[in-house]
Every structure is written in structure tokens, then in C-alpha cells.
Amino acid sequence: MSPAGKLFAAAAFIEGATWAGLLVGMLLKYGTQTTELGVWLFGRLHGLAFLLYVVASVYAGIRQRWPLWALLLALLAAVPPLVTVPLEWWFRRRGLLSPPR
């Protein structure tokens, strides 16, 4: 995997993990009404992770010379919860995270 591919993979994992934390936080806040701490903490962390993922996606897309569809798909994957991780796995299998030829 190239350095840009590694950055994208790490950002995808972090973005997915903070999404999961935010979802648990929302369950605790709105479902069980026990605490708002999860939303407070993971809301901020996920905001930072989202920005990191967008920057890493654009950087990897340029450095790896992704086709436009791959870059757009990477950016869209940040919107629904937990999609960045399976997308990263798929990109890895397709060779989009390997050094460009």
C-alpha cells in the first residue's frame, strides 16, 4: 500500500470508529436518556475525523490518480454511517490504494 493509501485507510477507519461512537452516544442520549456525554465527545471527534477523511480522500485521489468516480464515491461514503470502512476494503481489493503504475 502506498503512503497515500495508508493515510486513506487510517482516515476511513477513524471516521468509521467515531461514527460508531456517535451512534452509541445517540442511543444513550435519546434511547435510554441516561447521558449526553457520548454525543458531546463523539460529536466533536467525529467532526474532526470527517474533515480528516475528506482531506485524506482528496489527497489519495490525486496522488493515486483515482478515476473521478472513485473520488466521488469516497467522498459520498462519509455521509452514511459506517460506509468508509467497507469502501476502504473494496478500494484495497481493487488496487486503488497500491502505488500507481
24-52 pLDDT, tens digit each: 999 998 989 888 888 899 999 999 999 99
Neighbours of 99 (CB within 10 A): 12
Can you give the residue ranges of every domain in the chain? Answer: 3-93
**How far is the C-alpha of 60 from the C-alpha of 68, rounded, in Å?**
12
Choose among 75, 76, 70, 72: nearest CA to 93.
Answer: 70
**Over residues 58-75, mean pLDDT:** 95
- The conformation of residue 67, written as its DSSP 8-state character, comes to -
Q: What angle do CA 39, 86, 91 make, to 5 degrees?
A: 130
Q: What angle do CA 24, 28, 29 make, to 5 degrees?
A: 115
pTM of the model: 0.89
Q: What angle do CA 31, 34, 35 make, to 5 degrees?
A: 105
**Over residues 75-91, mean pLDDT:** 94
Choose among 91, 89, 88, 84: nearest CA to 67.
Answer: 91
